[in-house]
């Protein structure tokens, strides 16, 4: 196939224990999916329906990377999240069938320009520029569910320069992974290759140039990224 411009390859994530990478389609993110985080953002964590926003697939950054500090922000925040990678698409997926659509899992960061997000909220505008920017979606190599199963509980934490900042448990998600997939598939048709960043526990906070971020999810893996000075 000849394209009108130079071909831009599909973004990919490595797969643990394999030479075949995982092609990344769309990136959906769940907002306020842990009660303590909803509270710290000034919201009542009642079980409202989940809500979603997106990042571009090329916002993916591999484990171990040094990331240029993003432009246009004075308040970059970390959000450590369990990443769900879909191997099968679908619309109106039932909760009971949802895990059949999951190919694997990773540990990711939903990096956020909190100042831009806050301004957008105040003005009733979309959050897009607070969330969807270059290098805003670091993620580990994916691990197939065929190897680790479907983690529903276990520690999720983030350290900045060795100090623990975020700490929670996957079981504290307001909407668990099957419920999230089912709900999202009622809004849009999911596709193989889509990633879902499943929300962050409490303790989000600032990241400065030079900071080293280390994230962990029990049974899934460890993510390390560093921001350039
Ligand atoms: Mn998030």
Rounded to two decimals, the pTM is 0.97
pLDDT at residue 45 tops 80: no
Question: Is the distance from CB of 13 to CB of 106 less than 8 angstroms?
Answer: yes
Q: Are 25 and 48 in contact (CB under 8 A)?
A: no
> Is residue 2 assigned to a domain?
no
| Cross-strand pairs, 107 | 82
* Beta-ladder partners of 108: 81, 139
Residue 6 belongs to some domain of the structure: no
Distance (angstroms) between ligand 1 centre and the Cα of 7 equals: 31
Task: Give the CATH number, domain containing residue 181.
Answer: 3.90.850.10
For residue 1, how far is its CA from the centre of ligand 1 (angstroms)?
Answer: 37
Compute, in angstroms, the gap from residue 53 CA to the centroid of ligand 1.
9
Summarised one tens digit per residue, pLDDT across range 101-155 is 999 999 999 999 999 999 999 999 999 999 999 999 999 999 999 999 999 999 9
Residue 84, in any domain of the structure: yes
pLDDT of residue 180: 98
C-alpha 4 to ligand 1 mean position (Å): 36
Q: How far apart are CA 141 and CA 203, in angstroms?
A: 24
Q: Please name every residue paired with 217 in a beta bridge, in sequence order, or none if there are none.
A: 156, 221
Q: Is residue 137 part of a domain?
A: yes
Domain membership of residue 38 as a residue range: 12-227
Task: Report how many domains make up the chain.
Answer: 1
Q: How far is the CA of 6 from the centre of ligand 1 (A)?
A: 33
Tell whether 162 is covered by a domain. yes
Q: Is residue 132 part of a domain?
A: yes
Query: Is 188 inside any structural domain?
Result: yes
Q: Given a cut of 80, is residue 46 above it in pLDDT?
A: no
List the helix and strand counts (H, then E) for the chain: 5, 18
Residue 69 Cα to ligand 1 middle (Å) = 19
């Amino acid at each position: 196939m000849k394209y009108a411009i130079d071909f831009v390859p599909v973004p990919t994530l490595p797969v643990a224990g394999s030479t075949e990478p995982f092609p990344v389609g769309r990136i959906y993110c769940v907002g306020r999916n842990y009660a303590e985080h909803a509270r710290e953002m000034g919201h009542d964590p009642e079980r409202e329906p989940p809500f979603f926003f997106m990042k571009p697939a090329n916002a993916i950054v591999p484990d171990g990377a040094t990331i240029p500090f993003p432009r246009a922000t004075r308040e970059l925040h970390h959000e450590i999240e369990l990443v769900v990678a879909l191997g099968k698409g679908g619309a109106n997926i039932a909760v009971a069938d949802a895990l059949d659509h999951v190919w694997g899992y990773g540990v990711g960061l939903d990096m956020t320009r909190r100042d831009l997000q806050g301004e957008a909220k105040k003005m009733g505008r979309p959050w897009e520029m607070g969330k969807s920017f270059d290098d805003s979606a670091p993620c580990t190599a994916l691990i197939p569910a065929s190897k680790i199963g479907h983690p529903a509980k276990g520690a999720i934490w983030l350290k900045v320069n060795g100090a623990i900042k975020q700490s929670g448990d996957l079981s504290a998600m307001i909407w668990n992974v099957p419920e999230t997939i089912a709900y999202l598939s009622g809004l849009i048709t999911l596709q193989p290759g889509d990633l879902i960043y499943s929300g962050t526990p409490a303790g989000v906070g600032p990241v400065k140039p030079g900071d080293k971020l280390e994230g962990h999810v029990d049974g899934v893996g460890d993510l390390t990224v560093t921001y350039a000075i």
